[in-house]
Structure 1
Amino acid sequence: MPPQDAFEKARQLFLDGLQAFQAQRYAAAEQLFQSSLALLPGRVSTLINLAATQVKLGRPQDALAAAEQVLAIEPGHADAWFHKATALSQLGHHQAALAGYEEVLKIGTLPAAEPWCRHGQTLQALDQPERALASYDRALAADPKLAQAWSNRGGILREMHRHEEAAEAFRQALAHGADAELHRYYLASVSPQPLPPTAPAQYVETLFDDYADDFDAHLVDVLGYRAHSTLVGHLAGLNRGPYKSALDMGCGTGLCAPLLKPMTRRLAGVDLSSLMLEKARALHLYDELAHADIVAHLRQTDARHDLVVSADVFIYVGDLDPVFAALEAVMEPGGLFCFSAECASSERPDFELLPSLRYAHSERYLRALAERRGFDWLRLVRAPIREDQRSSIPGLYVYLQRR
């Protein structure tokens, strides 16, 4: 192909790649940029956009290689440093990512708000919340409408128990276009607001997908989590088994499975997090696993169970009536339903949303709900669920029988 024709073809492929990127068709954009580079190797503008695309595709190693090619040609290219830092962050190399964002800020040719926001996120990943807060303040000084910076700022202030400041940050995030359902949930945890009935499904799914690899070790070894063993231990003390079919509702990685399996002929599990379910599946203890919201699963399944167990799930569900109502169709008469819940601060509310972003329930509410939905109250055990900042979190372990 003559050089001029090759240039024009590469240029058109590049422009088509930009269009695909803007339309969020990232796989197509990557192919177009790579085809352009095959005709015009080493072209900086194409490499930069290729790196940005590969970051969007969640392929940080490839993005890093593209950014490094640019930096070999132009060592002070701010966009290349930005994409390099973002790729390093995706790879978990947070200290190197931090240095990359600082290089972007030092070069100073890009608008400062986004690099400062990423700088703050990286500091949070390095467990440096005070410094992260200062970075978000710098981001907002550059762009007061940056919703992500307001949201992240609010999250840090919430964890610092600076609730009024956190509430204002979440209000600002909402005002500037942040996810409304999620930020109303955040706001309700730190200020008097109408309580959402449950945590947003996307929040729960993302939280546990991100947490899946370290979940068991962190929860059990670091936080002293024992809801699963306490719940199933007292269940065994009722001497009601063996069961025909048990449902582990919100099974997570399957912490309950080794304890439940000896009690039942068949063990099923359901959870909202696909990555948690992969861990549960690897145990080879469940006969069936479903990736679904628990209420949706209960409403759709044809299975019938004489045991339903839910350990540390209702911290993400405030209004439990839909759960209890859906159980009516799947539980055998005489079957047992047992679950844990965090204790509300008093018996006045049915449930409350704590600054920890967890729901807590009153015993009064749970007793009334059980009675209304056709369950007999067998036993209540009060015992800790886990540790939080070296303090025990009080829990309610409830054992009900379907009428």
Structure 2
Amino acid sequence: MPAPDAFEQAKQLFLDGLQAFEAQRFDDAERLFQSSLALLPGRVSTLINLAATQVKLARPQDALATAEQVLAAEPGNADAWFHKASALGQLERHREALAGYEKVLALGTLPAAEPWLRHGQTLQALDQPERALTSYERALAAAPGLAQAWSNRGGILREMKRNEEAAEAFRQALAHGADPELHHYYLASVSAQPTPPTAPAHYVETLFDDYADEFDAHLVGVLGYRAHDTLVRQLATLGRGPFRSTLDLGCGTGLCAPLLKPMTQRLTGVDLSSLMLDKAQALGLYDSLVHADIVDHLRGTDERYDLVTAADVFIYVGDLEPVFAALDHAMQAHGLFCFSAECASTESADFELLPSLRYAHSERYLRALAARHRFDLLQLIRAPIREDQRESIPGLFVYLARR
């Protein structure tokens, strides 16, 4: 039995840990909970909050061990099961995570909305969208204002091409406090709502940070992506170069680098995703890598590039006027700007946001931009960019020279 002063000290450390957790100071919260446990070992309430904190810190092995410590003492503790399932999900042990959430729901001692939400997310990770929809419906039956469930439901319906239902789900998500910029972007992809000029920067950054480890294998191997290869190999036929300084806009993991490096003295890459840049750095082909928005970099750089490339970058940028305007600052006279774009379904619009959440551009718009910003069109070809659901996605490959 701890001494009274030790008990009071442990209690205060626990309360301080809760306060740190609520303030999202998770490192502090973990330290405080561990200090409390040093004085009161095995205290279930402290262990449960420690497991929750370790999940927030993305340390699933630690969270799993902490949750198991609770379950050894209290096999029916729903909170511990919930944190165990969350940790298993982070470890990509999705079938075990699903069983964990089902255990939480069977115990019935926690509010049902969040477990059903996580159940749906886990089913999505297991590529079971129809079942996931049912889980989200159960979550919304328990908590009609759960914005994340509306958002996830909308995402599945969008992928199923049930656009009207998807639009309503995104409207409900917005009505219940979901990220406005992101969900107006989602809504515009499936409805007649005005098209935003670009994808939200935080959406693109998160998307590619999450995608970094499997990007090359999935994009090239699964989706048959070839925009980088088509863009640079066609550039080589124009009889220009070698180049002094090349900028690879939206360089990602560096797919263009092996093709660009032999034709340039200096190669710079810029990307929004820090994890993508880590992969590019490992290639050892870039002289410089910059973590930045492409327009911000073009506006702020002291370098003057004689070659700028953008392979499959403008699928996340609708309005290209700021890009072309920034190139006025960053390019040498007679330099080349070479890029790919997805073909719009109509020439009547400058650009459109597709249900795939990708932008597509009209040839008319790209020609007008080039003329307005003092570029001569050297070549424009149409060729596939990638495959989507076994259909070839048509692209435009544009080669411009500064006057």
* Structure 2 length-normalised TM: 0.99
Work out whether 1:323 is the aligned partner of 2:323.
yes
Work out whether 1:88 is the aligned partner of 2:98.
no
- Residues in 2 aligned to 1:187 and 1:79: alpha-carbon distance in whole angstroms: 35
Note if contact 2:271-2:277 (Cα within 8 Å) is conserved in structure 1.
yes
Decide which moves more: 163-172 or 53-62: 53-62
Counterpart of 1:145 in structure 2 is 145
Aligned pairs for 1:300-379 (under 5 A) are 300-379=300-379
Aligned pairs for 1:2-401 (under 5 A) are 3-401=3-401
Note if contact 2:94-2:126 (Cα within 8 Å) is conserved in structure 1.
yes
- Residues in 1 aligned to 2:253 and 2:13: alpha-carbon distance in whole angstroms: 45
Letter in 2 for 1:335: G
How far the C-alpha of 1:58 sits from its partner, in A, is 1.1
Note if contact 2:148-2:173 (Cα within 8 Å) is conserved in structure 1.
yes
Letter in 2 for 1:275: L
Closer, same or farther: CA 226–2 of 1 in aligned 2, 3 Å: closer
Q: Summarize deviations over 1:350-386 as a string: whole Å, max 9, x none.
A: 0000000000000000000100011111100100000
How far the C-alpha of 1:24 sits from its partner, in A, is 1.2
Describe the SS at the equivalent of 2:166: helix
Closer, same or farther: CA 358–2 of 1 in aligned 2, 3 Å: closer
How far the C-alpha of 1:288 sits from its partner, in A, is 0.4
- Residues in 1 aligned to 2:19 and 2:337: alpha-carbon distance in whole angstroms: 54
Describe the SS at the equivalent of 2:265: coil
Q: Summarize deviations over 1:327-370 as a string: whole Å, max 9, x none.
A: 01111100000000000001000000000000000000000010
Describe the SS at the equivalent of 1:282: helix
Q: Indicate the percent of aligned positions where both proteins have the same amino acid.
A: 81
Q: Summarize deviations over 1:23-48 as a string: whole Å, max 9, x none.
A: 11111111111001001100000000
Decide which moves more: 70-79 or 24-33: 24-33
- Residues in 1 aligned to 2:25 and 2:390: alpha-carbon distance in whole angstroms: 47
How far the C-alpha of 1:57 sits from its partner, in A, is 1.1
Letter in 2 for 1:207: L
Describe the SS at the equivalent of 2:47: helix
- Residues in 1 aligned to 2:320 and 2:337: alpha-carbon distance in whole angstroms: 13
- Residues in 1 aligned to 2:401 and 2:26: alpha-carbon distance in whole angstroms: 52
Letter in 1 for 2:12: Q
- Residues in 1 aligned to 2:9 and 2:330: alpha-carbon distance in whole angstroms: 62
- Residues in 2 aligned to 1:174 and 1:106: alpha-carbon distance in whole angstroms: 31
Describe the SS at the equivalent of 1:86: helix
Describe the SS at the equivalent of 1:49: helix
- Residues in 2 aligned to 1:228 and 1:191: alpha-carbon distance in whole angstroms: 31
- Residues in 1 aligned to 2:16 and 2:386: alpha-carbon distance in whole angstroms: 54
Unaligned runs of 5+ residues in structure 1 are none
How far the C-alpha of 1:2 sits from its partner, in A, is 6.2
Letter in 1 for 2:296: A
How far the C-alpha of 1:223 sits from its partner, in A, is 0.4
Letter in 1 for 2:79: D
Note if contact 2:2-2:40 (Cα within 8 Å) is conserved in structure 1.
no
Letter in 2 for 1:168: E
Residues paired across the two proteins, number:
403
Describe the SS at the equivalent of 2:329: coil
How far the C-alpha of 1:193 sits from its partner, in A, is 0.8
How far the C-alpha of 1:251 sits from its partner, in A, is 0.3
Q: Summarize deviations over 1:157-203 as a string: whole Å, max 9, x none.
A: 00000000000000000000000000000000000011100000000
Closer, same or farther: CA 180–2 of 1 in aligned 2, 3 Å: closer
Q: Summarize deviations over 1:215-266 as a string: whole Å, max 9, x none.
A: 0000001000000000001100001010011100000000000000011111
Note if contact 2:270-2:290 (Cα within 8 Å) is conserved in structure 1.
yes
- Residues in 2 aligned to 1:19 and 1:232: alpha-carbon distance in whole angstroms: 54
* Structure 1 length-normalised TM: 0.99
- Residues in 2 aligned to 1:336 and 1:20: alpha-carbon distance in whole angstroms: 53
- Residues in 1 aligned to 2:315 and 2:224: alpha-carbon distance in whole angstroms: 17
